[in-house]
Structure 1
Amino acid sequence: MLFAAVLLAPPSHGGLGLDRPGALELRPEGLRRLRDQISVAEDSASCPACATWSWLEVIGTNSGWSHGSVRALGHGRDEEGPAHRHLRPDPSPDWHLCLGLLPAIDRWGWIDSYRSMHPASLSAVISAIALLLDGLEPAYAPVPAAAAMPVSPRRQMTREEEERILKRADELTARVEAILREFDAGR
């Protein structure tokens, strides 16, 4: 929703000022040209450039990885580095391979890499943004520390583990190739 807001918001409010068709038809090469026109806010939580970076992480991960990997992005914590995400290198270069930057999302939250969001869905996002902007600012109640959702730590793979996995994959590939050669020879 924030990325859609960045695309549609006028430049005076930090966005690109695209119309609905322009936002729905925006391709990676277009965003590469326009990206430096997206404003930066002092607070990283309300920074349009950071919202763009975060969305590119989601669609790039969706392009090259599993649905579980995309879902894990929502539960992960920011890595150490600059407070502003847009100052970091692009999170997943696979976003450059996406057909569109506002893909369709089904009712379960899965991203469809082959279709753009429907114009009516974009209108619903715009209406939701307008309601958020026009409504009263929410009053947040403090959450007790015990009620906070625990975040499971990410296991880091060592170089040795990665080499063992790759060696095992090479062995399996060689076995499959041998089986296929044997099958072809028996024909």
Structure 2
Amino acid sequence: MTQERQGAVTFKGNPVTLLGPEIKAGDQAPDFTVLANDLSTVTLNDSKGTVRIISVVPSLDTGVCDLQTRRFNEEASKLEGVKVLTISVDLPFAQKRWCGAAGVDNLQTLSDHRELSFGTAYGVAIKELRLLTRAVFVIDKNDKVVYVEYVPEVTNHPDYEAPILAAKKALEA
């Protein structure tokens, strides 16, 4: 049975339930299976041996998610050796269309719509909405989580500087 964390975050001021465990810095990164824009499967193991920033958004078609993804795309162009992934439950086709329209090409968008595999493994699936809550994870080359932020209010921006600094530090380790 999947763990439920009631009131862990709010959506438009209302408490929602997150499915899955709360991931903490120091944890081994859980595996997951999501879909790339070409419908191929992607797992954590596909980026093994690299530092990863995983930016989690409810939907690319909303203002904050759009800005968050554009910001991490911009940062990705300056972070040599860091792979930046954006995961949402948007369909792969919508993600591909959005990336084309937004000129986003320095990060990879991945869809968790099929199984909520990432959402339940990382404790970011919102039970009531079947969306992912806003969060950022940094995973080092050895698949250890070195940074976590679950944004307390889903409609707010994450901290952008802290995960970038954590990724740079993980590169040096």
Higher relative CO (Cα under 8 Å, sequence separation at least 6) belongs to 2
With normalisation by structure 1, the TM-score equals: 0.25
With normalisation by structure 2, the TM-score equals: 0.26
Structure number with higher helix proportion: 1
Structure number with higher strand proportion: 2
